[in-house]
Amino acid sequence: METQLGAGYLETASAPAPVVGGPAVGRDVSGVLMPGISRGLTAIASLLLVGLFLVPLWRVQLVAPQYPEGLGMRIGINYITGATPTDLRNINGLNHYVGMKHITPDAIPELRYMPWIVGGLILCGLTAAIVGRRKALTIWLGAFLLAGVAGLVDFWRWEYDYGHNIDFEHAIIKIPGMNYQPPLLGVKQLLNFTAVSWPDVGAWIALAAFGIGALALVIAIRTRVSSGSDASSR
């Protein structure tokens, strides 16, 4: 009798304790998974950024009585060009009169590394869509936002240097205390020129991509899909 009780006790003591809360097999231990619609939206947002290689991000226009049709610049991720074949040359000619630097695209380092940044965002966004983790999408959106803010700050810094570092020694027109920094966004009067600066098609594409990515994250948060959700509900 003692032997039987002892054996039964040992058998009971050595049995594994039941798992509370359902089976652990299949649980998502590395982060919440996104539903299919969020993954698809993330992929679409990433691929939209390919458009930044095809269209300009920003436009700057100068209008004056002697240039009623205006002079324009188009700024892309890897180029600065005139709105017409002669506009950039004419703008540089005007810069010479007031002692401003010539705009030389090859001398602007941002135009060399911005394509790599955009390419990295595309690759990382597609990776987040394939991996399907909500955390990966959150990191991608954070990097996207950081890149956008850094780009605007750098553009403003370039405009500041362009409009404030004047070579008065060689300038034909000298106005003490005058600076020629164009606006980052909006309209500004510079002598008899009206300078207008607005986002171009590429900037709206980037904004749409970020909005689609943010929508994907909202959907993922609301659905709270994880690989172990079905097992936990049983």
What CATH number did the domain enclosing 93 receive?
Answer: 1.20.140
Q: What does the mean pLDDT of the chain come to? A: 83
Q: What is the pLDDT of residue 59?
A: 95
Q: What is the pLDDT of residue 31?
A: 52
Q: 43 burial class (0-12, 13-18, 19+ CB within 10 angstroms)?
A: middle
Tokens standing for residue 95? 């810069």
Residue type, 106: D
Confidence at 233, pLDDT banded by 50, 70, 90: very low
User: Is 7 domain-assigned?
Assistant: no
- Contact partners, residue 224, CB within 8 Å, separation at least 6: 32
Residue 41, domain extent: 34-223
User: Is 18 domain-assigned?
Assistant: no
Structurally, the chain folds into a number of domains equal to: 1
Confidence at 13, pLDDT banded by 50, 70, 90: very low
In order of 22, 54, 65, 90, 91, the CA distances from 76 in angstroms are 55, 8, 28, 19, 18
User: Is 57 domain-assigned?
Assistant: yes
Residue 100 has pLDDT above 50, yes or no: yes
- Contact partners, residue 201, CB within 8 Å, separation at least 6: 51, 55, 56
Q: At 64, is the secondary structure helix, strand, or coil?
A: strand
Q: pLDDT (tens digit, 9 = 90+) per residue, 60-93?
A: 999 988 888 889 999 999 999 999 999 999 898 8
Q: pLDDT (tens digit, 9 = 90+) per residue, 142-186?
A: 999 999 999 999 999 999 988 888 777 777 777 777 788 889 999
C-beta of residue 201 within 8 angstroms of C-beta of residue 49:
no
pTM given for the model: 0.78
